């Protein structure tokens, strides 16, 4: 049985996010705002169907997907590119591959204890383009996806 990602996750650490944004050609002003934001991620998981909200005071981003089904995604909350996205299980990890203008783009999510980890990357073996976000589960929140 895959991991339970349900919950509200509040960011506690965000490493090298600016490096990732530079690699995505995000403008200077937006980068400077974004690196100071605390994100909250709400995830509702129904089997292999995921409903996600990434919330901040600057921008919100919603994306829903089903494991193993490729879909077209507009990365409105980040760099406004259109990509073909495919998310799959790798054990208890969620692994995403995005095909588009920027090569080798994607992310991995996994849970360790009460922390949700997200590693975002653009190019394999290029640590300047890797961003690691850790979030703690807030067990007291109910999620509404109406």
Local confidence pLDDT in tens for the 146 residues of the chain: 589 999 888 888 777 778 777 877 788 988 888 888 888 889 999 999 999 998 888 888 899 999 999 999 998 767 788 999 999 999 999 999 999 887 778 888 988 888 888 888 776 445 444 456 566 766 444 434 33
End-to-end alpha-carbon separation of the chain, Å? 27
Whether the model clears a pTM of 0.75, i.e. scores above it, the answer is yes
The domains of the chain, with CATH numbers, are: 7-145 (2.40.128.20)
Beta-carbon neighbour count of residue 40 at 10 Å?
16
Strand 7-15 versus strand 40-46 pairing type: antiparallel
Length of the chain: 146
> What residues are paired with 45 via a beta bridge?
50
The SS3 of residue 22 is helix
């Amino acid at each position: 049985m895959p991991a339970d990602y349900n919950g509200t996750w509040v960011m506690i650490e965000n490493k090298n996010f600016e490096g990732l944004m530079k690699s995505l050609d995000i403008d200077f002003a937006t980068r400077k705002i974004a690196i100071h934001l605390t994100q909250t991620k709400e995830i509702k998981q129904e089997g292999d169907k995921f409903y996600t909200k990434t919330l901040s005071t600057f921008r919100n981003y919603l994306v829903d997907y089903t494991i193993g089904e490729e879909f077209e995604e507009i990365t409105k909350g980040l760099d406004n590119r259109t990509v073909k996205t495919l998310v799959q299980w790798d054990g208890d990890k969620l692994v995403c591959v995005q095909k588009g203008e920027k090569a080798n783009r994607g992310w991995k999510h996994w849970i360790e204890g009460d922390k949700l980890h997200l590693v975002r990357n653009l190019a394999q073996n290029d640590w300047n383009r890797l961003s690691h976000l850790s979030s703690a589960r807030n067990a007291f929140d109910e999620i509404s996806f109406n």
